[in-house]
Amino acid sequence: MSASAVIPRVVVAAPASGSGKTTVATGLMAAFAARGLAVSPHKVGPDYIDPGYHALATGRPGRNLDPWLTSDELLVPLFRHGADGADVAVVEGVMGLYDGASGKGTAAGGGDYASSAHVASLLDAPVVLVVDASAAAGRSVAALVHGFRSFGDVRIGGVVLNRLGSDGHERMCREAVEDLGLPVLGALRRHEAAATPSRHLGLIPAAERHADAVATVERLGEMVAAACDLEAVLALARSAPPLAGSRWDPAEAVRAGEARELPESPPSAAARDGRAERPRVAVAGGPAFTFGYAENEELLEAAGAEVVRFDPLRDDRLPDGARGVVIGGGFPEVYAAELSANEPLRADLAAFARARPVYAECAGLLYLARELDGRPMCGVLEGVTAAMAPRLTLGYRAAVAVSDSVVARAGERVHGHEFHRTVTHPGHGETAAWQWSPSGPEGFVRGNCVASYLHLHWAGAPHFAARIVDACRTAPGERDRA
């Protein structure tokens, strides 16, 4: 699809982290959905947790928009893919409006690459600026808003005042902002009732507290609907111009990725259109493994796989007929006792990994280790132990494959990110997976298994999905589990 698309859209951003972006963005999603609108939820950056709440608010997959992990050119196609059929799209920003990957300049200025402003510019979307007014009033709030409106090229279409203390406080701030010629689209009081609990990596994922999370999202929708002018926000979203360019298609992405990256092994049309075997790829899920990009599974399916889910906390064996396993990120450290107690699945996965492809990111790495915080895990990575660390490790990573693996070829370069508060000993195997820092190699490649802390968005490397599926078809030691 290459025609222009009319997709009403806004980016909800803020001057700084902690201003209330998630509250306002999730509340807007829930409020619009409660009115019967089809709402497309998006999150700027590599965050896995907020999209879980967005999905509860809208009934659609929460999707990330990150030009660092994919590319500038893919940003609009991926957005159009996620927003297909939606009445309005709400994009939650990341950190402060202009905070991005430092060192990568754009036409708008250095250091704001992959920022909320960068994504808003690529989407040609108006910005709703959420301002925490708890420690300021009147003209100081207006001065802040004026600075953000005049600093860059994005269009700030309105302001939501957050954490106001009283009617008088709201009146002073509202009048000062409106004197700038900007509408105040909403004014929220301090709101403890809708707070979401957090721990070492941020908010607790929705999947871990489903009933409470549903109630929280419902309260956010009611609160934002009562405090914001939804018709004005919708009118602002509808003021966004048509988006040119094609809509991302996972099947086309797989074909193009194979043709570009694997000219020596052209794609099999029969395999991709379903006439060949569709190997089952089991993807870990449940409360302990909640981190993943929706597009990764869509690419696996487009490459010819049948994707099935399993929960390492509850299932005592891998799904029947599984030919490959993908284990993404999450919080296995929180569930170490329960994961360790599920001995049948640990043994099943250890046996499976001796012959079949296994791809693991972060939490998956910990689960495949010999032990985590002193508790036995799967032992696929013999001699590797994992434990909680005193500091959080996070950030974008420009990585190069150190060796051939089930997804990469030695020397290939990818963009990914780290997000964990654990360490492994050793940090890499004799055959490492990646290198992204001067400190040396990272991760493990053992036979058909590859595991590391690196998170990847496969839309930026769709041939990775094709390689996993092909490995499921061709790796030796086939085990018929049906």
Location of structure tokens 């609009």: 76
State the amino acid at position 92 in one-letter form.
E
User: How far apart, in whole angstroms, are the C-alpha atoms of residue 92 and residue 100?
Assistant: 14
Residue 378 annotated as catalytic: no
State the amino acid at position 175 in one-letter form.
E
* Beta carbons of 124 and 244 less than 8 angstroms apart: no
Which of these is catalytic: 362, 378, 449, 472? 362
* Beta carbons of 381 and 371 less than 8 angstroms apart: no
User: How far apart, in whole angstroms, are the C-alpha atoms of residue 153 and residue 102?
Assistant: 18
**What is the β-pairing status of strands 441-442 and 434-435?**
antiparallel
State the amino acid at position 347 in one-letter form.
A
Q: Which of 6, 85, 75 is nearest to 44 (CA)?
A: 75
Which residues lie below 8 Å from residue 482, measured CB to CB, with a gap of 6+?
Answer: 320, 321
Q: Which of 93, 87, 68, 108 is nearest to 11 (CA)?
A: 93
User: How far apart, in whole angstroms, are the C-alpha atoms of residue 381 and residue 445?
Assistant: 9
User: How far apart, in whole angstroms, are the C-alpha atoms of residue 225 and residue 35?
Assistant: 10
Active site residues: 362
